[in-house]
Structure 1
Amino acid sequence: MRLLVAMMKHETNTFSPVVTDLDRFMAWGGYLGEEAYKAYKGTGMPFGAYLDIAEAAGHEVVTPVAAEAMPSGPVKAEAYEFLTGKILDAVREGVDACLLDLHGAMVAETTDDGEGTLLENIRKIAPGIPIAVTYDLHTNLTQKMVDNCTCLIGYKTYPHIDMVEVGSQIAHVLMRTIAGEVTPVMAWGQPALLAQTLRMGHDDEPMKTLLALAREAEEDPKVLAATVFGGFPLADFQDAGSSIVVVTDNDQALADKWRDRLVKEMWQRREEFVYQHEPLVDAVARAKEFDTLKTEGGPTLLLDHADNTGSGGTQDVMTVIEEVLNQGLEDVAVAAVYDPDAVKQMQKAGIGAKVTLKLGGKTDMPSIDLKGRPLEVTGTVKTLTDGRWTVRGPMYTGVQVSMGHSAVLDTGKVEIVVTSNHHEPWDVGVFTSVGIQPQHKRYLLLKSRIHYRAGFGDLGKATITLDGDGVTTSDNSILDFKKVRRPIYPLDRVNEP
């Protein structure tokens, strides 16, 4: 058999001003044809799992595209047409089944439902073709996405350290389907809940209990897959929000039963999906009292979550860094500030040079009425690199990533990693690749929400969440939702049981 294996990933923040064009995909993780195969073979990705399982079964594999961009604004029409076109052309040329590694929260200029539209178009070309899909835990599931595939699954971890496992699980379901051993049927439900990303960690409640229930469901051999989707709350479109999907072997009643149980549990615990804020000045002052490096042998982690490029942030908001500098925290490493111009200035000055930069603050954010505001910082150029390194941690294992040309600015108290590409710090490579040993720092200031736990969870001895500014804010009061279905909690105080 000839199997299509493809990846197209983007988590779209419709409030983000960061442009998502084809160059953004290709610069961070875009490969075509044989290069896609080479880039992801043997990696800790669903794409890599698909290749292993298909080849172990003796099937021919075609890999038209593997592309991912860091989260940002709506995908440009040209980029969406190019990427989906590669997949659709391969289907037209003739394949027997599709194994797709998608995100599930892509909004494009031409469609609010990027994945659903792709699947629908595949079905138009090949109506009966078996299709299996692996989605992110932050998928905003739609009817179109469910109706136009054979089976689907989502990650059960955040940070996403189980990508290989879930990709393998749904690939095996598809193989058994092709062999006539199982007949997948699905049930999905969508509570009126726009859960907040900071409340979706798999080790935290309420997701911990919900994910345990999903695993309990999968203990039944007739349940092929059960997924709790937290959803992505910063994609303002009709179906944004949390959902449940259960896949069984030709047992709709069983799928419905587990779907209903999980939806009920999620809805009853809706208040736990809302993040509670703390004034930034108070949180930084608390951090200043910590000295976990001495008492527990590791750094305190400081999370600048409102400017997390892994959720579509501009990664150049300086609010939190400024407060850390103002309060005099020492022995801090920051990952990372996106500022290509600052990198160029440091390259021109050279290693060892003392420079004064207007750092960050280059991007306006009209959706939240926030103007970019650079911060004047003086320091020494400590490191210059090309920004390329390979992930060795448990998330994206084996994948080569690029921060673009990068530099380290050392103010004496704070070392700031400055990059030319957006990159969320979910692996220690953001520091080690530029010569910083994070385990020996008193503080690590990370522009991240939960993914940081993949690389830094065991390293950090305490974590403080800092409420700064940016388009990945958890403050719904400053976000103007226009398209999402209403009423929905917590935008509306929905009181139904």
Structure 2
Amino acid sequence: MKLFIATLSTETNTFCTMPTAMSGFEEYFLRHGTATQDPPNLMTEALHVWREKANVLGWQVIESLTAIAEPAGPTTRSCYDALSDEILSDLAECGGADIILLQLHGAMVAEQIEDCEGDILARARALCPDATIGVSLDLHSHLTEKMLEASDLIVHFREYPHDDATACAVELFELARRSHAGEITPQMAFYDTRMVNLYLTKAGVMKEFVSEMAAVQNRPGVLSVSLSHGFPWADVEDVGARMLVITDDQPQLAVQLAEELGRRFFELREKVTTRYLPIPEALDHVGTRSGLCVLADMGDNSGGGAPGDATHLLQAMLAHGMTNFASGLFWDPGVVRICQDAGIGSRLALRLGGKTGVVSGDPIDLTARVMNIETGLGQHLGTGLEPMGTVVWLRLEGEIDLLVNDLRVQVYHPEAFEQIGIRLAGKSVVAVKSLFHFYGPFSQISDHILQVASPGGTQPAFGDLALTKRKLPFWPAVAQPFADECLADAG
């Protein structure tokens, strides 16, 4: 038995003006068939799982490219062609495979190619028409008909933050093994819920809905149930949440359950979404409870394709007269270089952030002392360790500590601050550039977490997004996006 594995992953914010190019993959994670020789991260955990399970079974494993880039704008065509061609060339050169397992993102867009994952899967299917093809996707994906047509199995992460990557990899491997052995005959169907938003799965009604999906998956004849949450900041035709069901040789059951669960999810739309606080309202809440307050600077999350250099929240905190707080990570390679040249202990006049474009706000002129500089640090996302590049700790008057780095990455863990010397236990507030991935680790040190609807490249104003390519109406831009069906039924 021959198993072929590979990863190509980036999440495309089509509104971002910074292209994703080869440099983005090179600085984050790029391995040519050797990724499983490194410790796992979120998007390589599956490769480790698949190789280990295949080795136990005595299978031959062909490991191809692993390429991961921090989200930004559309991938340049030359970059996409080079990376996808490498995977397909490796597949052709090894003579094909019995089982092909790919860890892709699901929301990658390249110049002239809106559905990169569908493109890769279709090309793999053309090379290996008889192979069992399975793909693991981030739940912020655009689930498309082309993906379903070209693959046998699709499994999404079910948790946000994503702490179930290993479990999903195990699930996909076992389904692929059973399918290739003829033990099961997977049939897939999805349902468009007509919702564009973000959904945190760790509490409340959304957590209950994930449990509801798991219960349906345990029914006879059902192989897998997962929800593609969609990636909101992408002007593509298939944007939005879609419910996916895989059954064992029962296509009508897959269609029925996908619609039932999808309709159920739509009914819960108000309860599964969160209200995010405008900056002034969020700052009014600071200090109303004892202990550390965590502010999520949601509008400038580089993990969603924002630049990572926005100053809106920091400007407001300074104008508010706040002291004794920490904030980061600010992506500003120029400031990092100046601090490296000046050295630890230097006192400098710096112009921080606001350099990428209008969404980033204005630069802030400040005087700061360079407290520490570290290269090679990482922060945990689940069990994986994510790189941080070169990190600089700046201190302003009033015990204000800022983290600046030269690699666009969101804050995942308190250790992003702690390991360079900032003690969060002594702070009144920490502002993190992140959407949700910080939530689990930071909830261990604070029970006062505020998600701030700050301006920026990932501002959570989903009803206002200019989604020109989506053909069907969606909530929250339209209060009743299924009204056209009601009219059709009445007619």
Specify the alignment match of 2:120 in structure 1. 118
Letter in 2 for 1:489: W
Report the Cα offset of residue 262 of structure 1: 0.7
Q: Quick one: distance in 2 between partners of 1:224 and 1:477?
A: 34
Alignment-mate amino acid for residue 71 of structure 2: P
1:83 aligns with 2:71: no
How big is the shift at 1:206? 4.2
Q: How many angstroms apart in 1 are the aligned matches of 2:204 and 2:259?
A: 20
Shift of 1:108: 0.8
Secondary structure, counterpart of 1:63 in structure 2:
strand
1:357 aligns with 2:350: yes
Aligned letter for 2:392?
A: A
Query: For the structure 1 residues 353 and 470, does the alpha-carbon distance in structure 2 shift closer, same or farther, using more than 3 Å as the test?
Result: same
Tell me what 1:285 maps to: 284
Note the 1:429-440 alignment, pairs <5 A.
429-440=415-426
Matched, 1:385 2:385: no
For residues 351 and 233 of structure 1, the distance between their equivalents in structure 2, rounded to whole angstroms, comes to 41
Name the CA shift for 1:254/1:479 in 2 (closer, same or farther; >3 Å): closer
Looking at structure 1, the residues matched to 231 and 41 of structure 2 have their Cα atoms a distance apart, in angstroms, of 28
- The residue identity in structure 2 corresponding to 1:426 is Y
Q: 1:459 aligns with which of 441, 445, 454?
A: 445
Q: What letter is aligned with 2:155? A: I
Instruction: Provide the C-alpha distance between the structure 2 equivalents of 1:108 and 1:42, rounded to a whole number of angstroms.
Output: 24
Whole-Å separation in 2 of the counterparts to 1:97 and 1:77: 28
- Cα distance in 1 for partners of 2:453, 2:263 equals 31
Deviation at 1:208, TM superposition (A): 1.9
2:363 maps to amino acid: P
Match of 1:276 in 2: 275
Structure 2 distance, partners of 1:22, 1:495, is: 39
Structure 1 residues 186-235: Cα deviation after superposition (integer angstroms, max 9, x where no partner): 121112221x22xx111244422321121001222532210012111111
8 Å Cα contact 2:311-2:360 kept in structure 1: no
Partner of 1:63: 63
Whichever residue aligns with residue 410 of structure 1, its letter is: R
Check whether the contact 2:25–2:67 (CA below 8 A) recurs between aligned residues. Answer: yes
Amino acid at match of 1:80: Y
Give SS of 2:17's match.
Answer: coil
Secondary structure of the 1:257 match is helix
| Paired amino acid for 2:17 | P
Cα distance in structure 1, aligned partners of 2:98 and 2:354? 50
Decide whether the 8 Å contact of 2:411 with 2:438 is kept in 1: yes
- More deviation, 337-346/270-279: 270-279
Alignment of structure 1 residues 368-383 onto 2, 5 Å: 370=359, 372-383=361-372
CA distance in 1, matches of 2:384, 2:249: 37
Looking at structure 1, the residues matched to 125 and 27 of structure 2 have their Cα atoms a distance apart, in angstroms, of 30
Structure 2: gaps of 5 or more residues? 484-491
Shift of 1:2: 1.8
Instruction: Please say which of residues 231-240 and 454-463 is displaced more in the overlay.
Output: 454-463
Aligned with 1:470 (options 436, 439, 456): 456
Residue 380 of structure 1 aligns to a residue whose secondary structure is strand
Contact 2:20/2:74 (<8 A) preserved: yes
What is the CA–CA distance in structure 1 between the aligned matches of 2:315 and 2:481, rounded to whole Å? 41
The counterpart of 1:406, out of the listed 362, 367, 391, is: 391
**Identity, % of aligned positions:** 28
Q: Which range moves more in the overlay, 269-278 or 402-411?
A: 269-278
Structure 2 equivalent of residue 54 of structure 1: 54
Check if 1:175 corresponds to 2:177.
yes
Please give the alpha-carbon distance, in whole angstroms, between the structure 2 residues aligned to 1:145 and 1:207. 26
- CA 53–140 in structure 1, closer or farther in 2 if over 3 Å, else same: same
- Residue in 1 aligned with 2:324? 331
Q: Assess, with a 3 A threshold, how the Cα gap between structure 1 residues 49 and 371 changes in structure 2: closer, same or farther.
A: closer
Residue in 2 that maps onto 1:4: 4
* Structure 1, 262-271 or 415-424: larger mean CA deviation: 262-271
The 5 Å alignment of 1:307-322 reads 307-322=300-315
In the superposition, the TM-score normalised over structure 2's length comes to 0.93
- In 2 relative to 1, CA 396–98 (structure 1 residues): closer, same or farther, beyond 3 Å? farther
Normalised by the length of structure 1, the TM-score is 0.92
Change (3 A) 1:324 1:268: same
Q: CA deviation at 1:390?
A: 4.2
Name the SS of the counterpart of 2:126 in structure 1. Answer: helix
- Any unmatched runs of 5+ in structure 1? 293-298
Match of 1:450 in 2: 436
